[in-house]
Amino acid sequence: MSHYFETPQGKAETFRIPMRLWDEEVELDSARGVFSRGGLDPGTAMLLRSCDPPEGPVGLLDLGCGIGPLTIALGLANTDARITAVDVNERALALTRANADRLGIGERVTTALPQDVPTDELYDEIWSNPPIRIGKEALHELLGTWLTRLRPEGTAWMVVARNLGADSLAVWLAEQGWECERVSSAKGFRVFAVRRGVVQNTADGHELML
């Protein structure tokens, strides 16, 4: 398992890296021991190029936030959005918090370990470059847990590298009853829009949303 899935030991020596997040040129604090510490990773860049920010007052989840590029992008693009940034790496969470505070969106951002997020909290959208390298079983468990936090009309926007199983993941999601639409494919990545499917299997003939 890659080291950035665990909280590194010792004091973090931070440095700033430039990023373009939609129309914003920003600098984010980074440090060793976090995902893509040296700049915006290609998958997240692809996700931002392929999808527009949501409009209006929405509740968003940044799943696997790292140092917070998606959280920052969403918070700057939509001043009505409230964002929960989740990661298992406490250093990543601290950096996301620092970046959100410094860039003026801290009041609308909550950073949390997965176990600290209320189980009844639902989201209008989930944004994620999911941690494929944790392994298929762990990834399926992670997505099976968090996708159920979508509101009935919600969408999860995800980017997955093709050579790391993007197409097989799409098949698995469909097998679980999710609608998985490929919205973009370029430079070795797939971008998916995942939504709740409809299962017509109730005793009285009504449609049951997953």
Question: Residue 157 belongs to what H/E stretch?
Answer: strand 150-161
Task: Please list the alpha-helical segments (H only) found in the chain.
Answer: 42-50, 69-77, 90-102, 136-146, 166-175
Mention every residue, 6+ apart, whose C-beta is less than 8 A from residue 108. Answer: 75, 81, 82, 83
More reliable by pLDDT, 114 or 202: 114
User: pLDDT tier at 68 (50, 70, 90 boundaries)?
Assistant: very high
- Domains of the chain plus CATH, in order, are 42-209 (3.40.50.150)
pTM comes to 0.90
CA dihedral 94, 147, 173, 54 (to 10 degrees): -80
Q: Round the average pLDDT of the chain to a whole number and report it.
A: 90
Residue percentage of the chain with pLDDT more than 70: 89
